[in-house]
Structure 1
């Protein structure tokens, strides 16, 4: 299986080309958000409030970056266990989110939303947080600054390495 270089925002054509187990390198914009931010985003959708960014075609990285050291754009930024977002992810996918980056299994509701709305779940390499941070060229906090490391950040990434864990057909690398 070949590796693939992709650009955000994701299109359905790109998502259809991705296969479970494939190595992918992402460039463009990726947003960070963990469970506290997901809870707030879902509440905003339920109240019909404007969201801090347009989900259409976007990727959310389940991460809470460490503070940056002088001279660095960001500190280590490793993946958080994705299952903590499973209660919230289907609604975000329904509202246009196309990709998620994290680690670990996803529940059936997330997989069903991925297939129904054409999305993809990428696994980041756990233990490689320092490597991941080297792929980030710019960071802005865009929402929920009061959450500290769990604030939503807009990252500009270049060749962020991930593996397709669940593709748009519902194939799951964890269940092979």
Structure 2
């Protein structure tokens, strides 16, 4: 297909005529960019994929969201960002302290991986029932791609009464 000709891509959220549609029109590069933006797909993650591949992936996303909404009555909510990491070993925090702070007195800096998961691991630890734990998982699935988080989730689930 020539880049100069306009194309139209329609992605449906389900099989029914009443289901939501998303229609993209323009050149192939415009449609590609619009689909990535519309579905929140990172452009780096689709490097090397054809427009057809991207449409297939976007259709799968749309069908999944459509099924979740119609079958489970779910709604899309904004993901809460992780709270900002607290600075480690801040020399300004020691001002006003009567004793001088040395490097040996400071706590070891947490690894970036630990900082990234600190909030979610803390939230998992707070859950007191499997129902709370399952609800937290359902609302924060993006964190569970990390094996450390998933291991903590499973361990907590086993420790809670059914």
TM bracket, shorter-chain basis: under 0.3
When you count strand as a share of all residues, which structure comes out higher? 1
TM-score, length basis structure 2: 0.21
Provide the TM-score with structure 1 as the length reference: 0.20
> Which protein has greater RCO, CA pairs closer than 8 Å, 6+ apart?
1
Q: Which has the higher helix share?
A: 2
